Structure 1
Amino acid sequence: MPRPVWTGTISFGLVAIPVKLYHAVRRQSVSFNQLDDRTMSRIRYKKVSALDGDEVPDDHIVKGFEVSKDRYIVVDPDELEPFIPAATKTVELEEFVDLDEIDPVFYDNAYYVAPGTNPKPYVLLARAMEESNKVAIGRFVMRNKQYTAAIRAEEGRLIMSTLAYADEVLDPATIDELQELDDVDVSKKEVAMAESLVDSLSATFEPEKYRDEYREQVLDLIQIKASGQAFEAPEAVAEQPKVVDLMAALEASVARAKDARGRHPSTAEPSAKKKAAKKTTKKKAAKKTAAAKKSA
C-alpha cells in the first residue's frame, strides 16, 4: 500500500483543499554491492584526506565550495539556516496557464494528488481545470527544499509534476550541432517519403509494450545463478551496416513497415476473410452454371 510522501493543502484565493501526495513513478533498477572475492564480505568506504590519506573524523569535516582550483570557501551550517525555506504545508497556486504552453522539458518528478478529508473541493477544482484545459502553477516546500510545481487534471484526478527552473534548462543555442540544422537542404520528395514512414508506423501509445529488457535479463541471470544452474551468455547481435543513401533507406523502411503491418494478425484477418468470400462467390457461381446446364 503506497504511503503519502507529503500532506498539506492546495491554496488559491480563499480556498484551501486538503491533499496528500503519492509517488506516481516507482523507479525499477538492479543494484550491486562491491565484495571482497576472498571472503565475499562487503567493501566499506572511509572518509580520508586527499593530502595524506589519513581517515578524517566527522567533527573535522566541514562544507566548502570550490571557487577556483584547490581554493574553497567554507560555509557553516548556521550561515545557511536563514536561507532554508520554512517547512509550510501549503501549495500556493499563483496562476493558471494553458497546458500546451509548458514545454515537456520542464517536467521533473510526478506525484498523484489525492484528496484529504473532504473530496468535494478537490473534485470541483479537477473538473474546472479539465474542462478549461488549464494547469495550475504553484510553489511548495518538501524536505526543506522549495519546488515550483504544475498541477494538471486528468480523468477527474489531479497530478502534480515538479518543474525545473528556467536557468536549469540548457539553451539549445549553446549546442553547435543544433545551430547547423538551418543549413541542411531536404527535397519535397524526401519529406513526403519521411511522412509516409511516420504514417506507416503511427499507432496508439501503449506503454505496456515497452519494457526495461536489460533489467529483466539481469534478473533472469541472477535467478539462474542463484538456483545453481549454469548460465550461457547469448551471442552478441551483429551491428547493422550503415545506409548512406537517405531515400533508399526511407523507401526500405516504409516497405518493411507496411510488410510488418500486413503480417500482423489484426491486419491479416480482413484480407483472409476477403479471400474466403471470393472463394465462396466462385463456388456459388459454379453451382449456378451447372444447374443451368442440367435444366437446358
Structure 2
Amino acid sequence: MSHMIWKGAISFGLVHVPVQLYPATQSEKVGFNLLDKRSIDPIGYRQINKRTGKEVTRDNIVRGFEYEKDKYVVLSDDEIRSANPESTQTVDILAFVDAPDISFLYLDTPYYLAPDRKGEKVYALLREALKASGKIGVANVVLHNKQHLAALIPVGPVLALNTLRWGDEVRDFNELKLPAEDTKKAGVTARELDMAKKLIDDMSDRWDPSAYHDTFRDDIMALVDRKVRAGKTAEITDVETPREARQSAEILDLSDLLKRSLGRGKGKAGGRAQNQAALKAAAQDESDADETPAPPRRKTASVKRASSSGARAAASRKETTHRKRTAA
C-alpha cells in the first residue's frame, strides 16, 4: 500500500469524518536520463544565467514573479510561506452537485480517503448517502501548502478525493474552429447519424482498465531486457530504417464507410473486431483506388497455343468417357 499523505477530516455541516489520505495512482511512464556517451555517466543539472551564460551558485538564487515582460518581484521563501493558506487538514465541503455536472476537463489528481480513529460508521453513512443521492461533494482542501478545489466521489466501497482544476485553468474551447452542434448545419444526415450510433452500439463494452496496456512502455522494457541479457548496455545498435507507411487516401463518402463497417459481422465481440477491420479495409480500398493499376500481362503465342491445345484434349477425353458410358 502507498504511504499515507496526511490525516484529517471531511467536514460538512456539523459532521466530521476522520480520514487518512492516500495517493490513488502510480506513474508507470518510461523515464530516460541524459548520459555522457563517452563514459555513460549521468549529466547533472546546471543552473545557468541565461543572459551571461555563467553558472550561478545556490546562494545567489532567489525566486521571482514576472509581473511584466522581463520585470520581476523578488520573494523570499518566508514571504511565500506566509502568503500560503494555512494547512487545516480538513476537506471542507462547500456544496453538493450532480455528478455529471463536473466535466472531465476539470479532473486533476485522484486520491483515496480511508476512515480513521473509529470513523467507519460516519464514513459509511456519507458514502452511502452520496451514492443514493447521485451527488458528489465540492470541497476546498490544502495539500502540500497549496489550496485545491476538489471533488469528493463515492467509488464502490471507497471515498475518492479528486483535485479539480480552477475555472480559469481550463481553456475556453470557443477559440477553436468547430463544426456546428446542429447536425443539419454540420452537414450530417439522419441516415449517417443512425449508422454511426449503430456502429457505436456494436463496439460498446463494459469499462475494464486491465484490458488496455501501454504498449510503448512494454516494448521499451523488452528492448532494455534484451540489451541487458546480451551485455550490450553501453552500445548503440544500428536500427533498420522502417518502411514508410503508405498513407490512406482521404475518405469522402462517410455514408459508404459506415454502411460497409456495419455490414461485416454481427454480435458484440465479433462485430467490434470486424468493424475495425472494415474501417481499415475501406481506407485501404480508397488508397488502392488512387494508385494506377499495372497493365495486364499479354499471353505469348506459345502460352496461347498450349492453352488451346489443353482445352481440345480435355474436350476429347470428356467425349470418349461419355461414349463408353453410353455403350455400357
Same fold (TM over 0.5): yes
The answer for the alignment partner of 2:33 in structure 1 is 33
The answer for the alignment partner of 2:121 in structure 1 is 120
The answer for the alignment partner of 1:219 in structure 2 is 221
Counterpart of 1:114, as a letter, is A
RMSD between aligned alpha carbons?
2.6
| Residue pairs, 1:19-98, within 5 angstroms | 19-98=19-98
Query: CA 1:116/1:45 → structure 2, altered by over 3 Å: closer, same or farther?
Result: same
Counterpart of 1:238, as a letter, is A
Normalised TM-score (structure 1): 0.80
Is 1:7 the counterpart of 2:28 in the alignment?
no
The alpha carbon displacement at 1:264 in A equals 8.9
- 2:265 & 2:13 partners in 1: Cα distance? 54
Deviations 1:160-188 (A, max 9, x none): 1111111111111121x226565421111
| Residue pairs, 1:180-191, within 5 angstroms | 183-191=185-193
Query: CA 1:107/1:236 → structure 2, altered by over 3 Å: closer, same or farther?
Result: farther
Query: CA 1:264/1:44 → structure 2, altered by over 3 Å: closer, same or farther?
Result: closer
CA contact (8 A) 1:173 1:179 kept: no
Counterpart of 1:241, as a letter, is S
The alpha carbon displacement at 1:6 in A equals 2.0
The answer for the alignment partner of 1:158 in structure 2 is 159
The answer for the alignment partner of 1:241 in structure 2 is 248
> Number of paired residues?
264
The alpha carbon displacement at 1:258 in A equals 3.9
Helix, strand or coil for the counterpart of 2:178? helix
CA contact (8 A) 1:153 1:159 kept: yes
Counterpart of 1:148, as a letter, is L
The alpha carbon displacement at 1:104 in A equals 1.9
Helix, strand or coil for the counterpart of 2:263? helix
Deviations 1:202-238 (A, max 9, x none): 2222221111000000000000001007887695583
CA contact (8 A) 1:127 1:156 kept: no
The alpha carbon displacement at 1:61 in A equals 1.3
Query: CA 1:264/1:108 → structure 2, altered by over 3 Å: closer, same or farther?
Result: closer
Counterpart of 1:221, as a letter, is L
The alpha carbon displacement at 1:116 in A equals 0.6
Q: Which runs of 5+ in 2 are unaligned?
A: 274-328
The answer for the alignment partner of 2:108 in structure 1 is 108
Query: CA 1:239/1:22 → structure 2, altered by over 3 Å: closer, same or farther?
Result: farther
Question: Matched residues, percent identical?
Answer: 36
CA contact (8 A) 1:106 1:169 kept: yes
- 1:61 & 1:208 partners in 2: Cα distance? 46
Normalised TM-score (structure 2): 0.73
- 1:68 & 1:117 partners in 2: Cα distance? 50
- 1:110 & 1:237 partners in 2: Cα distance? 41
- 2:133 & 2:268 partners in 1: Cα distance? 41
- Of 1-10 and 139-148, the range deviating more from structure 2: 1-10
CA contact (8 A) 2:99 2:136 kept: yes
- 1:62 & 1:256 partners in 2: Cα distance? 65
Query: CA 1:261/1:50 → structure 2, altered by over 3 Å: closer, same or farther?
Result: closer
Query: CA 1:39/1:116 → structure 2, altered by over 3 Å: closer, same or farther?
Result: same
The alpha carbon displacement at 1:55 in A equals 1.2
The answer for the alignment partner of 2:147 in structure 1 is 146
CA contact (8 A) 2:137 2:153 kept: yes
The alpha carbon displacement at 1:66 in A equals 2.9
Counterpart of 1:33, as a letter, is N
